[in-house]
Each structure stands twice: as structure tokens, then as C-alpha cells.
Chain A
Amino acid sequence: MAMEAASTGKKERRSGSLQRTDVRAGWGLLTPAGIVILAVTIFPILYSLFMSFNNIQLTTNGFQFTFTGLQNYKDVYSAPLFWHSVGFTIYYSVITVAVELFLGLLIALAIQNVERLKSLSIVVMLIPWALITVISAQMWGYIYNGVYGVLNAILQGLHIIHTQVNWLGQPFTAVVSLMIADIWKTTPFVVIILLSGLQMIPKDYYEAALIDGANAWQSFWNVTFPQLRGSIALAGLFRILQAFGIFDLPFVLTQGGPGTTTTSLAMLGEETLFTNLHFGLGAAVAISTVILILGACLIFLSAFRGMVGEEAQ
């Protein structure tokens, strides 16, 4: 009896005070991570925002700021090159992400159904994703090279083309070549996310579908796809975020050319900041990119809202 009372009393005290301790411990545990995020993410963004409203002069005493309001944004938005970069970044992102999601889904379904050597096929598939982009881009540079490139050699050997194609030196082929290199590299990332989604679908669903007489297409459309929508949304969201920051592939393969054809927003921002040393304009480009990414994610999420909501529950 006495013990019981004691234990109940303890329990009651627990529910009150320990909750507060939990909260305190929680904040304590969150603080280090919070400080890191504050230092490397929130502070740079706020600082960029501040920079974008100023004309910035480098002096021996560091930056000298002159508040100019929206002038940097006006200047950026009146530059045709900025709008060209926005256009390129958007259509590049939309096409590569769409193709990657489609191909990624096919590959994930294929690997899911492989009986033997499953882990080996996952490892092989992951190689493009694991390679550092700058290095794999150099490799693609050898493939696409118009004079001693592998691709021309193969196509000429097969008599598909008769003269060498200047893959990276023509606007249309340059964009397509970049897209192919991008899709090759990042589809494995989509596959991994979709594969984990596939593995979470309970087997009974398929058994039930089978009993109901569903064929392969019906069971995919009515069981797999609805169950996978959350994973697709997740993979798509991550890919959009990355695709909008596209930098390394065009930087190595085309330097943004021919002309300015493949100049992405990230390249434009980098060049404005670090080559031209126009920090205010560069910050305005960076902040505009963030706003664009936010917009793209909102559009994508609202298109997938139902699915994500479902998954969350």
C-alpha cells in the first residue's frame, strides 16, 4: 500500500515537473544544432538580404555600405541576362526533374522486382550519384568533345552521323547534353528514395489486389502509385531545390555558353559576386533565386498537397 502510494505520488510529480525538464533538455539538445543553422544558414541569408539593399564598396576597412533601397533589384530586373538565366534555370529544372522522376520510378520498380543481386544492382546504380560532379562533368566533357569525343566516335562508327557534331558548341545540343549528364547523375538519388517508399508498401495490399483479380497495371495504378505519392513528392521537392541551383555542370562543360545560352542563376550570381565584385547586385540575384525556389516549391507542393497530406497522416 505504502509503496503504491509512493509510486503514484512520484508519478504525479513526474508528469508535472519532468515535462518542464523535458522541454528544457529538448532546447538544450537543440541549441548546438540551432546555433550551427543560425550561423551558416539564417545569418548568411539575412546578411545577403541586407547586402541586396545596399551599394557595397570594398575598402581597406572592409565593406562600406550605402543604403540604396530597391536599386539593386531594379538593376537586376532590367538586365536581359537575368531573365535569360531565370528562363534557362526554370526549363532546365522542370525538364530534368520530370525525366528523373519518370526514369527513377521505372528503375526503382525494376530493382524492386529483381530477385538476385539486388544489393549489387543498387550499388552499381548509385555510382553516378556518388561521383563528385566536377569530376563526372570532366568525363562528360571527353564524351561530348567535338574533335576527340567518345560520343562522336561511337555514332560515326555506327554510321548514325557522318560529320562530327559539336555537342557543347551549339545552343540546342549544349542544353540537351547538359540535361543528359544531369539526368545520368541524379536519377539514382530519385531511385533510392522511391525504392525505400516501395519497400514500405505492405505485401498484403498486393495479395488483396491479386485476389480481386487485378492485373499488373491495375495493381500498379491502384496500389503502388497511391502508396508512393509521398515519396515521389519528397524526391521531386529535393530535386527541384537542387536543380534550381545548377552550377557545376555548366561551369565545367560550357562556361555558360555558347554565348549565354547555359548561364544559370547560380552561375550568374557567382560571377556577379566573385568575378565582377558587385556584391550588392550579386546579393540581389541570390535573394531573387531564393524567392524563385520558394515559389517553385510552393507550386510543386500545392500540386502534390493531397498526396503529401495523406502521407503525413
Chain B
Amino acid sequence: MKTRTKNWAAIVTIASTSTALLAGCGQTQSANTSNGSASIAPKQNTASTNVVAPTHLVNYSNASGSVVWAESFTTGPVAKQLVSAFEKKYPKIKVTMQVQPSSTDTNRADLTATISGGSATPDVYMGDVIWPAQFAHAQLAAPLSDYLPKSFWNRFSNGLVQGATYNGKVYAAPLFADTAFLYYRKDLLQKYHLPVPTTWEQVKSEAATIVKKGGAKYGFVWQGADYEGLTCDFDEYLADAGGSVLTNGKASLNTPAANKALGFMRSLITSGVTPKTVDTFQEPQSENVFTQGQAVFLRNWSYAWSDSQNPASSKVVGKVGVTALPTFAGHGSSGYSTVGGWDLYLNPHTKNLAAALQFIDWMTSPQAQEILAANSEMPTIKAVANSPSLKKYSPVFALLPKVKFVSRPSQTPQYPSVSKAIYDNVNEALAGSVSVGTALKNANSQINSAQSGSGSGGL
């Protein structure tokens, strides 16, 4: 009997430790979610957004004090450049940088813990463009449109403000955008006398030809791993095929368009154009295959341009061309690209509202947006984005007028579960363990249960 009690005590103690471990998991994750995951307004929403009038308009023209800014730029000195330019212009405001984890999900866990715990800092933080609905719903972000004049929102490119809006209020100021392009080996296309493709069918057949003739080991690489990035890739094919994830708020993946999109993705693998390991590829893996000269085509975000031109890591410097993503034959001249990027959010507990607003205002001003563009980040305000001088920073900027944008369905606070329903099932179909039809059927019902916002859909 005594042994028994002892055993129990031992088990309880050890088991408690394991719960503590489980609870601590959020802090220990590392991994490398690239910042290429984010989004904006649904493709049908091109009209300008109706922002509600401010309720507590703040005059921040004479603000002073200090602001803590949580920044998650993954590389380079851009954050420092921005802060020193700001402090030079507004000497009465001091900005302290707080560097966040580079993994988007770890960053979110960290901000959630800090802000839900009532911390007044960071006053301003950078967040993914797919966060506004979730963060607004959980009151982790303050409604900027309550404090800023309606005219403030006119500076941004179409659709961007819509993406940061939840229930009529704007919760984030778009800081920089990102979107996807098709990178190709111009030397190989030239060698085999093939044109730059404008349809997905062409990408597939040209890639097959070049691989067959021994020009490259693989045809076309992209992101097929079980993560947010796969939702981005899938949404592009889906939009090209004329479909969308949600129709009138309900999942609509049981459609011929969805079938065409996923069927095509799977056929890239079964036909050998795409290596079957693509179902484990995130951005770095796919980019690596391309920059090592092993693939003809690559779908990736704007940063892949500068990576491909860096002789330290790329074997294809000078051999790369970039164009807008293609579409399916008969669906227009170019395809849809997922919109990503990062926004600035305001901590609802901030003790220095005026200075924080001044900072947000300046970060979305031409001066700051020029600094971002010079660092190859895509500007979000019309004044800079539409300027003809923009293309001197990166050739991908010159393609922007051709790009059609599609956003992920991130206007629901349940977006993480909705997206998981997409990438889990699409990934399974890519691995070939379920059929295209079954995967779409499962995704459809999981999206609907996730959207109900309660119940097991939250898992």
C-alpha cells in the first residue's frame, strides 16, 4: 500500500512537470518561418474602404516622450536607419527598438503573452498582415481609426487598408508589402528557344522539355510544406482557376475551380516537373534548389531576386529573369499573386499614445517608405509605390503594375484554423496519401467548422 501511494506521488509530480513542459512549448519553438507569409484584401475588393470616423481624434503634432517599437525585420540595418531618421526629424521623441523572434508564430506567441498580460510596451509593434482580425478580436491591437483622421488612410495603395480592417475599424497601418513572382533561368530558355511563360500549362511543358533535354535537374520548385506558405501558393492557383476559399462567408472548395487548382499542383509532382519532396519545401529549400542551378522555374517572394544575385550564395547570378506569376490558359494575361507584408500595430495599453501615433504616421510617410524601398521592401503608400523611380531599387518593382493581387481569407479571427484546414489537406494531397477530391472535401468541412469560431473548429 505504501509503495502504491509513493508511486502515485511520483507519477503526479512527474506528470505535472510534463504539463509545465507542454505549457512551455510556445517559448521553445525555433524554426524558420520566413517573413514571406502575409496578406491583404480579397481579390474582388478593389473599391476603397469605408473607414468609420475617429471617436477620439488625437493631435500628435507636438508629441514628445519615448516609444518602444517591437521590430521583426529579419535582415539588415533597415530598422536602425528608420529610427535614426525619425529621431532626427522628431528630436522630442526617443524610439527604443525591441528585436522580436524571426519566426512569425513565435513572434505572435511572444506579443500575445506580453500584451494580454497588460504590458504598456512595446507601444508599437510590427505584425503580419494576416493578424488584424485575430488581434482585433482578442483586443491585442488598438483601433487606429479611432485616433487618426479619416484622411490618414488615403495615402495607402488600394486594398491594403481593407486588409487591416475588422468590423469597420482599422487596426493596423501597412508598413511594407510583399508578393510572389515567377523566377526563371533566362539562359536555359534562350538555349532551348523557349519564350517566357505566361500560363501554368506553359511552365509545365517548358520545364518538362528542359529537364528532358538535360538542361536542369528539376523543372519547377515552389512551397508545398505543411505550413502557412502552402496556403499562399494554393490560393494563387485557386484564384487563377476562378475560385476562392470563401464565397459569401462559406467554404467553397468543393468546386471545379478548386479541383483544377489542386489537380494541377499534384500533376506537377506526378509528371516529374516538380520534385516530389516539394511537399517538405518552405521558402529556403525551394530557393536553395533554384540558386544552386538545379531548377528552371521558382515561385517565391520579392526577396528572392536579391538572393539570386548574391554571388556568395547563388550559382545563377546574371542568369535569372523574373516575371509576374502566370495564370491558367484562357484566364487572362497574368496570374494572381498572394499579398503578404507587415503592418504597424498599436498596443492598447500604451502610455504614450501621441508619440506612438506620430511614429506610425512618419513610418508611412514618403521619407520612411523611400528608406524601405531602398532596402528592397515594397512600399505601401501610393506616393512611393507609383513613383517611376522605384524600379531602380529592384526589377521586381517594375512588374508591380502587371500583378493581380489575391489575399488569403484572413478577415476572420479564426484565420489560423482556416488556413490550417487548407494547408494540412493540400499537403496531404501533394504527398499523394489522399485524392485531390477527398482533400478538398475535408478542407471544405474543416474550414466551415473552424469558421463557426467555437467548438472543435478551434483546434
Contacts and interface: CB of A to CB of B under 8 A. Distances in A.
A270 B416 contact: no
A81 to B, nearest CB: 6
Most buried by A among B19, B105, B139, B227: B19
A137 B364 CA distance: 40
Contacts of A242: 18
A147 interface: yes
Interface stretch (A122-130, A208-216, A223-231, A257-265): A257-265
A58 B11 CA distance: 33
A45 B19 contact: yes
B26 A254 contact: no
A254 B138 CA distance: 29
Nearest to B434: A259
Interface in A51-65: 55, 57-63
A269 B279 contact: no
A255 B229 CA distance: 12
Contacts of B349: 60
Contacts of A75: 454-456, 458-459
A268 interface: yes
A79 B459 contact: yes
A109 interface: no
A63 to B, nearest CB: 7
Given A82-B459, A164-B275, A258-B433, A247 B25 contact: yes
Contacts of B459: 75-76, 79, 81-82, 268, 272, 276, 278, 281, 285
B-side interface mostly: helix
B23 A241 contact: no
B456 A41 contact: no
Nearest to B439: A259
A170 B14 contact: no
A257 B225 contact: yes
B410 to A, nearest CB: 13
Contacts of A260: 424, 428
Contacts of B432: 170
Contacts of A82: 456, 459
B37 to A, nearest CB: 12
Interface string A244-282: 110110011011111111000110111111111110010
A63 B280 CA distance: 37
Interface stretch (A19-27, A154-162, A289-297): A289-297
A286 B15 CA distance: 11
Interface string B344-383: 0000110000000000000000000000000000000000
A247 B348 CA distance: 33
A308 B10 CA distance: 13
A168 B280 contact: yes
Contacts of B430: 169, 258
A254 B276 contact: no
Interface string A82-106: 1000000000000000000000000
A145 interface: yes
Given A278-B458, A308-B3, A257 B19 contact: no
Nearest to B348: A60
Interface string B1-28: 0010011000111111111111101101
Contact of B139 (A60, A148, A254): A60
A110 interface: no
A44 B19 CA distance: 8
Contact of B112 (A76, A147, A277, A301): A277
Contacts of B276: 146, 166, 169
B25 A166 contact: no
Contact of A272 (B23, B218, B458): B458
A290 B17 CA distance: 10
B259 interface: no
Contacts of B13: 37, 41
Contact of B455 (A78, A170, A276): A78
B47 interface: no
A274 B26 CA distance: 7
Interface in A66-85: 75-76, 78-79, 81-82
B417 A276 contact: yes
A242 B18 CA distance: 7
Interface string A6-45: 0000000000000000000000000000000100111011
Interface string B85-122: 00000000000000000000100110010001110000
Given A60-B348, A256-B226, A298-B11, A146 B277 contact: yes
B414 interface: yes
A42 B18 CA distance: 11
A247 B21 CA distance: 10
A164 B431 CA distance: 14
A50 to B, nearest CB: 13
B31 interface: yes
Contacts of A59: 139
Nearest to A259: B428
B266 to A, nearest CB: 13
A293 B276 CA distance: 37
A76 B456 contact: yes
A87 B271 CA distance: 34
A294 B6 CA distance: 14
24 contacts: A44-B19, A45-B20, A60-B139, A62-B116, A78-B456, A146-B277, A147-B277, A147-B289, A148-B289, A166-B279, A169-B277, A245-B18, A251-B31, A255-B225, A257-B280, A259-B434, A260-B428, A273-B23, A274-B108, A274-B109, A275-B105, A281-B456, A297-B15, A305-B3
| Across the A-B interface, the 3 shortest Cβ-Cβ residue pairs | A146-B277, A257-B226, A259-B428
